[in-house]
């Protein structure tokens, strides 16, 4: 059964997103994306939700990631 979203809900969501939300973009190696997508799926989350929760977890728990290399650092 295909559940349709009422037009009023879509209009409200678009207005809310314009006023209260923004996006962050990043480039990552394809293999890392697959790894992150798999981790998100294992946790039952969408990719964006998983990434946001990981970032907020690090911030809220004062996790120092400055010494973690991504394999693409040029230092």
Taking only the tens place, the pLDDT of each residue in 11-44 is 999 999 999 999 999 999 999 999 999 999 999 9
- CA atoms within a 13 Å half-sphere pointing along the CA-CB vector of 39: 12
The ranges assigned to domains in the chain are 27-65
The closest of 42, 35, 40 to 70, measured between CA atoms, is 35
Percentage of the chain surpassing pLDDT 90? 76
């Amino acid at each position: 059964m295909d559940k349709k979203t009422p037009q009023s809900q879509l209009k409200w969501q678009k207005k809310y997103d314009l006023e209260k939300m923004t996006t962050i973009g990043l480039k990552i190696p394809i293999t890392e994306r697959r790894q992150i997508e798999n981790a998100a799926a294992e946790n039952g989350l969408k990719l964006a939700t998983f990434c946001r929760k990981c970032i907020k977890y690090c911030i809220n728990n004062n996790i120092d990631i400055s010494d973690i290399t991504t394999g693409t650092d040029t230092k």
